[in-house]
Structure 1
Amino acid sequence: MVLGKAGAGKTVLALELLIQLLEERRRDPAGPVPVLISAVAVDTRTPFETWLAGHLARRFGLNEADTADLVRRRRILPVLDGLDEMDAEHASERASALVNALNAYMLGRDRAPVVATCRPREYRRLPEALDRATHVELVPMGGHGSAAYLREQLRDEDDLRRCAPVLEALEDDPGGLVAEELATPWRLTLALTVFLNDGDPAALLPGPSADAAAYRNEVNALLLDQYVPAVVRLRDPNGRYPAEKVAS
């Protein structure tokens, strides 16, 4: 079970694990084949094995009898991404049903291999946890780590000069408001994309008496509003695709 807040890198970590497992199969093909599956797609009203066999058959154009045999023999390792996205806010019926199904997904007397990802709050709200699972939780990046990453990605001295106030805020106050807002890979990606498009990094700095909640809302609006136009200008310098049409 991979746990982490929004943007912490759960899906990327699951993909990295999947790639490493596939590379391992080159040396030893005895292990199961990992397959990334969106947890939202799971029909919890259908027995998990039946649903998985049908899903694999449809997705890869295989005979369902063959996929059912692979599932029965536990030759597939489901990597179920996003348990927290299965239900509406404050609900957990579908995610809970899936966890119950995974707890009953056996290989002889042992749990069959499976990987899942979820946000911590939603996971801890479930009536049951994934039984006998190894739990890996991604922790937020500190201000020093975020600053080091940004320094590596900046292109030249001009970028470094423009971003200097943000870098100083991250390093001087590694647990402060700026560090909290740039504590995940996703938020760093948003900020960096906006910076590289000549956005004003100083706009990320809170005022001397900034309210934390208001500051977070301002940063969210700033990064999300500028992200798509920034990506369009960076990736399409010839202006073939107007940013407003991409955003809509």
Structure 2
Amino acid sequence: MAWLTWADDATLIEEICQAPGAPAGWIWLVAHLMRAFQLREATAQALVDAYQVIAVVDGLDEMDGTDEPGYGSRSGQALRVLNRHQHGRNKARLVLTCRSGPYQALTEGQVWAHDAAHIQLG
């Protein structure tokens, strides 16, 4: 199992948001594995489908220029894509970080990480 992080959060967010359907897996994650580790598409897709990759989305709150993102925000869009992939399955192998205030604003806007353990620090 591998931990996967992006050096450029903006690139990650664009990749997540450009994959609105992604029924066969996380297109953005497969594409990143192919680029970062020079994997063939079938190999990258197999790793994602078998939950052998833990994606780290660090800074959900940094996607938007506000402390009160809503349903239509970039962070809201990213959460919807992540939730769509996870729908009807066990918990995803994903670490998602976000400051409490912006995450609360997202939940009030009716978008949040489904079937997730929430841990609040400090």
Contact kept in structure 2, 1:53 and 1:64, CA below 8 Å = yes
CA 1:128–1:74: 2 relative to 1, 3 Å = same
Which of 11, 32, 35 aligns to 2:4? It is 35
| Residues 65-76 of structure 1 aligned to structure 2 (within 5 Å) | 65-76=42-53
TM-score by length of 1: 0.39
C-alpha distance in 2 between matches for 1:138 and 1:61: 36
Match of residue 97 from structure 1:
77
Q: What letter matches 2:86 in structure 1?
A: M
Which of 27, 41, 45 aligns to 2:18? It is 45
1:81 positional shift:
0.5
Could you list the runs of 5+ residues in structure 1 that have no partner in the other structure?
A: 1-31, 140-248
1:116 positional shift:
0.3
Residue identity over aligned pairs, in percent, reads 31
C-alpha distance in 2 between matches for 1:111 and 1:97: 19
CA 1:129–1:108: 2 relative to 1, 3 Å = closer
SS of corresponding position for 2:26: helix
1:135 positional shift:
1.4
Deviations 1:65-92 (A, max 9, x none): 2112211222111111110111222445
1:108 positional shift:
6.4
| Residues 91-170 of structure 1 aligned to structure 2 (within 5 Å) | 91-92=69-70, 93-106=73-86, 109-126=89-106, 127-139=110-122
Contact kept in structure 2, 1:104 and 1:111, CA below 8 Å = no
1:101 positional shift:
1.9
Contact kept in structure 2, 1:53 and 1:68, CA below 8 Å = yes
C-alpha distance in 2 between matches for 1:66 and 1:45: 21
C-alpha distance in 1 between matches for 2:115 and 2:87: 14
Contact kept in structure 1, 2:69 and 2:76, CA below 8 Å = no
C-alpha distance in 1 between matches for 2:9 and 2:111: 17
1:105 positional shift:
2.6
C-alpha distance in 2 between matches for 1:107 and 1:36: 23
Could you list the runs of 5+ residues in structure 2 that have no partner in the other structure?
A: none
Give 4+ residue runs of structure 1 displaced > 4 Å after superposition: none
C-alpha distance in 1 between matches for 2:103 and 2:69: 11
The structure with more radius of gyration: 1
Contact kept in structure 2, 1:103 and 1:111, CA below 8 Å = no
Contact kept in structure 2, 1:105 and 1:111, CA below 8 Å = no
1:49 positional shift:
0.6
Q: What letter matches 1:81 in structure 2?
A: D
Contact kept in structure 2, 1:33 and 1:75, CA below 8 Å = yes
C-alpha distance in 2 between matches for 1:39 and 1:137: 22
Contact kept in structure 1, 2:69 and 2:105, CA below 8 Å = no
